[in-house]
Structure 1
Amino acid sequence: MPPDNRPISKRVIGDAVTAVDALIVFVAAIIAKWFYIGAVLQSDQDIIPYAAVGGVGGVVAVLAFHFQGLYVFETLARPRGQTRRLLAGLVLTALAVVTAGYLLKIGEAYSRGWFISWISLSALTLVVFHLVLGRVLRRWTAKGLFARRVLVYGSGAIAARLTEKAAGDGAQLQIRGIFDDPESDAATRVAVAGGLADLIAYARENPLDDWGPILKAIEDRAIGLVALILFAPFMLLVALAIKLDSRGPVFFRQRRHGFNHQIFHVYKFRTMSVTEDGPVILQAKRDDPRITRVGRFLRRTSLDELPQLINVLQGDMSLVGPRPHALSHNDHYSTLLERYANRHRVKPGMTGWAQVKGFRGETETPAKMKARIDHDLYYIENWSLWFDIKILAMTPFFGLVGSNAR
């Protein structure tokens, strides 16, 4: 399966341009007030009334642009028709503002020179912005950043021709995988990634699209940074306790599989007398003699996971997601449990749905691991920002304290 190079969402582009357009109209009102009222008329009038009109005008303008279909990606990416839509929208905005001022009997409070300067500056800036934006979007489209991703079922001649077409037009179409359940004697024309069940599972794996990845990244960086600052003094005390309790480093680094099976080093406070990271790693058990005195407390309270805030800020992990397992454990359970590898369709997390539902600690049997995986997959298939917030709120009460050593 090719690497998961996530394309840019066309919806995000449209929403972002909408916000920028509204901001341009608002800022143009402020600049026009500064230039015409302040510099030309030499008046020190309050800026608040002009800013208020600019804000209302920005909202009215983007609504007018929206109803003309301006924020459809294909329209944004082509130069023809954008200038007409922009100017028509601004004319409607000007008429709406003038009408409102007349009805509210406040029109005389605003300078006509400022009004003309505002609309003119808005028009010039918006036209230039959209012309430049169109060129950028066409260039990105040519690089395949907005390509449509498809899965193919069937491995015969039609699949082969579709593969050739996608290879010749990679900017518009990306085949993410070909699946089939051919007869034992049937000839396949292309490489097959799995059967129908695999296709269905793959199609359900990654709900983070449009604004999802952006919101989750903001959530991770913002909350992660605040948490690291708040916990920094306590983490220093933990580091001191570890050094006084046993010989060895404060932190423990181990290779784990992250998003799309990419390997990264996870950080934890050292809780054992060994630091294993080889082909064979024994899971910690209850009353494990390798666990130090301070380590036992840290593991029971999950405080040994705090250094993973660094992994979150580095982008290797998320605050919420399936817990990362050691490489040897991944290799072992991927051969025993169906859909085990699907948990790598999102970044691993410091806490997760499985942990707050009690599936944390030692997983000495495939049945226990399956229960954890089922919860991980439920989280992936039902992700939302509110689901993350719910899990974070539950973690201090259900996901930290437990009797299992991990």
Structure 2
Amino acid sequence: MVNIDGRLSRKRPADGRAITPALLSDGLMILDGFWIVLSALATKFVLYFELATSDAPSTRHLAVALITSALTLIIFRRRRLYEIDEIVEPTGRIREVLQGFISAVALTLALGFLLKVSDSFSRIWLVTWVSICGLGLLLIHSLSAGLLNRIDSRGMLARRIVIYGVSGRTVELLRRLSLAPSKYSVLGIFDDVSPGNAPCAVNGGLEDLVRLCRSQPVDEIILSLSTLEEERFKAVLERLSELPIAVRFCPPFSNIAEYAKGFVRHQGITLIEVFDPPLRAWDLVIKRTEDIVIGALALILFSIPLSLAAIAIKLESRGPAFFRQERQGFNGQRIRVWKLRTMKVVETGASIVQATKYDPRITRVGKFLRKTSLDELPQLLNVLRGEMSLVGPRPYAINHDEAFKDHLPSFIKRYKIKPGMTGWAQVNGLRGEISSEGDLRTRLEYDLFYLEHWSIWFDLKVLGLTPLYGFVNRNAY
């Protein structure tokens, strides 16, 4: 991680807040669904001691519990009972919780009556389960309301906001956000052309804002410009597009809103959506889980080939079997990636010469390792450390990144997510030396397509294609 003064820190950069309102909301929903099913089966077991058997009645009770659970969650969501503002109500909207659950039970009973299966269930079980389950839901929502009130009152869920631009709208925006200090935390106000008699304190310019966003977590950047000079606005957007942070635009006049594609509202102020981070909330949790589980299994699976490769390297030439090179990681932070040595020299400095065909620096063992991409396998350690991901844009040497950005400024957008061991570009045959701007542009298009269309299924597709198309390629040397 790069500190605000530009020094390299050994602390791993965070790619998002561990606890977000979306995760808490979804967590409560999952807890409700789990409790409804668990209470149904537990009541059946206690009353009849039949849960351990595989008889049909137990299966029917499970089906009823799942249907009731699904209906309850649908009703709760329609009544906005999983929105943080509603959960933190003093009573957690207890009456709404009870009414929603009873409505779900009534719909389940009506369905059972229509299908003529209601006689298959004990009335004692039904009354006992509904009573226990209803009380449990009330308790869950009451405790959740108390817990989230404490978290909210300490500002732990506050959106961390940075504002760029000083205008009359900025003052009004600050006033509105200050009305809810537990929900919004303004980290700074920045502007490059603010007037001398600015109505609020300015903490620096655009580059200062970018440094702040790279040195600490920021949830949202709000653009509040007094005028819309095309060139300046375009330059600001180009710079902010490099950050994995949501960017909103607070229009200086209201009628611009009708041309926007999306809006968000903060305390009655309408903001136009400009950029969103590629991965948010559960996306980050799912992708990190994927990296840990598959990465750990892959490290175990490839431990013997890695050991044999390391021995072969040591036998062929002097020098370390493993070494680390500095790369650019998530949000432009510096990371050090592990590699197997494939050359007679170890290049880890600021200037690394890209390998070419018939490169005399490459050893015989190294040629095989590079051809099959086995030299990249130690990066599984970077994946488990959270510095890289299994799937994502491939990282390049720092000096290569700088040169690529000079030819194609939008190249830096690749780092809005963690770099990957393999990627969509690699399984489409784009490996090895970048010999032209057209080649660079094509790789960037594949990487940005991955960012825009990410899903767990997309990741699994890339991982599945990697042994077929990503490991061996005639352009890899």
Return the TM-score normalized by structure 1: 0.83
Contiguous gaps of at least 5 residues in structure 2 = 5-12, 208-231, 242-246, 248-274
CA, structure 1 residues 360+175, in 2 after alignment: closer, same or farther (shift >3 Å)? farther
Paired letter, 1:19 = I
- The equivalent of 2:315 in structure 1 is 244
**1:244-263 superposed matches below 5 A:** 244-263=315-334
CA, structure 1 residues 150+200, in 2 after alignment: closer, same or farther (shift >3 Å)? farther
**Contact (CA 8 Å) 1:83, 1:127: kept in 2 or not?**
yes
Distance across 2 between alignment mates of 1:4 and 1:309: 18
1:286 equivalent among 333, 341, 357: 357
Q: CA deviation at 1:74?
A: 1.6
Distance across 2 between alignment mates of 1:5 and 1:238: 33
2:342 equivalent among 262, 271, 279: 271
CA, structure 1 residues 58+377, in 2 after alignment: closer, same or farther (shift >3 Å)? closer
Deviations 1:235-255 (A, max 9, x none): 333233223322333222222
Pair 1:227-2:298 in alignment: yes
Q: CA deviation at 1:156?
A: 4.4
CA, structure 1 residues 380+110, in 2 after alignment: closer, same or farther (shift >3 Å)? closer
Pair 1:122-2:133 in alignment: yes
CA, structure 1 residues 261+174, in 2 after alignment: closer, same or farther (shift >3 Å)? farther
**1:184-223 superposed matches below 5 A:** 190=202, 191-193=204-206, 195-201=232-238, 202=241, 203=247, 204=275, 206-223=277-294
- The equivalent of 2:7 in structure 1 is none
**Contact (CA 8 Å) 1:255, 1:264: kept in 2 or not?**
yes
Q: CA deviation at 1:48?
A: 3.2
Q: CA deviation at 1:318?
A: 0.9
Paired letter, 1:219 = E
Pair 1:34-2:105 in alignment: no
Distance across 1 between alignment mates of 2:408 and 2:96: 55
- Higher mean Cα deviation, 219-228 or 342-351? 219-228
**Contact (CA 8 Å) 2:92, 2:141: kept in 1 or not?**
no
**Contact (CA 8 Å) 1:225, 1:313: kept in 2 or not?**
yes
**Contact (CA 8 Å) 1:30, 1:51: kept in 2 or not?**
yes
CA, structure 1 residues 149+381, in 2 after alignment: closer, same or farther (shift >3 Å)? farther
* Secondary structure of residue in 2 paired with 1:264: strand
**Contact (CA 8 Å) 1:154, 1:178: kept in 2 or not?**
yes
CA, structure 1 residues 355+181, in 2 after alignment: closer, same or farther (shift >3 Å)? farther
Distance across 1 between alignment mates of 2:338 and 2:374: 12
Count of residues in Structure 1 that have an aligned counterpart in Structure 2:
401
Q: CA deviation at 1:81?
A: 5.3
CA, structure 1 residues 321+144, in 2 after alignment: closer, same or farther (shift >3 Å)? farther
**Contact (CA 8 Å) 2:392, 2:422: kept in 1 or not?**
yes
RMSD over aligned Cα atoms: 3.6
- The equivalent of 1:78 in structure 2 is 89
- The equivalent of 2:262 in structure 1 is none
- Higher mean Cα deviation, 324-333 or 255-264? 324-333
Distance across 1 between alignment mates of 2:351 and 2:278: 34
- The equivalent of 1:16 in structure 2 is 27
Paired letter, 2:82 = Y
Distance across 2 between alignment mates of 1:84 and 1:212: 33
Distance across 2 between alignment mates of 1:344 and 1:141: 32
**Contact (CA 8 Å) 1:148, 1:173: kept in 2 or not?**
yes
Q: CA deviation at 1:315?
A: 1.4
- Higher mean Cα deviation, 338-347 or 300-309? 338-347
CA, structure 1 residues 296+95, in 2 after alignment: closer, same or farther (shift >3 Å)? same
Return the TM-score normalized by structure 2: 0.72
**Contact (CA 8 Å) 1:149, 1:176: kept in 2 or not?**
yes
Distance across 1 between alignment mates of 2:42 and 2:310: 53
Paired letter, 2:378 = P
CA, structure 1 residues 343+178, in 2 after alignment: closer, same or farther (shift >3 Å)? farther
Distance across 2 between alignment mates of 1:164 and 1:64: 36
- The equivalent of 2:253 in structure 1 is none
**Contact (CA 8 Å) 1:205, 1:345: kept in 2 or not?**
no
What is the percent sequence identity of the aligned residues? 39
Deviations 1:173-232 (A, max 9, x none): 35588676749x988763231642354342446221243222322332333233333333
**Contact (CA 8 Å) 1:254, 1:266: kept in 2 or not?**
yes
Paired letter, 2:234 = A
CA, structure 1 residues 260+86, in 2 after alignment: closer, same or farther (shift >3 Å)? same
- Higher mean Cα deviation, 353-362 or 24-33? 353-362
Deviations 1:10-52 (A, max 9, x none): 444333322221110110012212223339xxxx996433333
* Secondary structure of residue in 2 paired with 1:339: helix
CA, structure 1 residues 245+144, in 2 after alignment: closer, same or farther (shift >3 Å)? farther
Paired letter, 1:218 = T
